[in-house]
Amino acid sequence: MFKNRLVNIALIILMAITLIGVVVFVLWQTYLKPEAATVPGQQVEKKVSAEDFQKATLETEEIRTNLITGEMILAKFAIQAENEDTKHELELRKPQVIHTIIKTLSAMKPDEIQGPKGMEKVEDAIKQELNKLLEEGKIVEVITTHKIVDA
């Protein structure tokens, strides 16, 4: 290659380090971190046992409030926390949780909460607001267990 032996050795070492780096990166992406290999935007849901779900879920009582247009809504939610410690924090903050849900619902119109897409929007909005409230952990899912809109 080059007439200078030191340059040849430096180039060989540089190529070897680059090759090792590429191999390590590929192995890391395929075997050590499989959730990174999924389609972007697609969430990988891990299965939770019924017992773990029950231990980490806080159920609210029925919440009755007005929507922004004056219609009445009666709803009940199950809030799945990341773990039991987060559920305990939610229980301690239950008045704040109820306030957050009422505030979120009272800012919506009846047509915004109709159908599966509407309920998904409500649940996501409540989840985002409750996550802002928590010091540690996060809300995994908000599930509507009861809903009546009185027009």
pTM, full prediction: 0.68
d(CA 1, CA 134): 63
* Conformation bin of residue 141: beta by default, left when phi > 0, alpha when psi is -120 to 50: beta
Lowest mean pLDDT across 22-26, 41-45, 136-140: 41-45
CA-derived radius of gyration, the chain:
25
DSSP class per residue in 19-52: HHHHHHHHHIIIII-GGGGSPTT---PPP--HHH
Structure-model confidence comparison of residues 44 and 7, the more confident one: 7
pLDDT > 60? residue 34: no
Q: What pLDDT sits at residue 37?
A: 44
Spatial neighbors of 140 by CB under 8 A, at least 6 apart, are: 56, 80, 81, 82
Q: Beta strand pairing status for 72-81 and 63-66? A: antiparallel
CA atoms within 13 A on the CB side of 100: 23
Q: Residue 8: what pLDDT? A: 87
> Tokens in use for 131?
């996550």
Residue 88 has which token pair? 């305990």
pLDDT band at residue 36, thresholds of 50, 70 and 90?
very low
Contact 108, 68 (CB under 8 A): yes
Question: Phi and psi dihedrals of 43, rounded to 5?
Answer: -90, 140
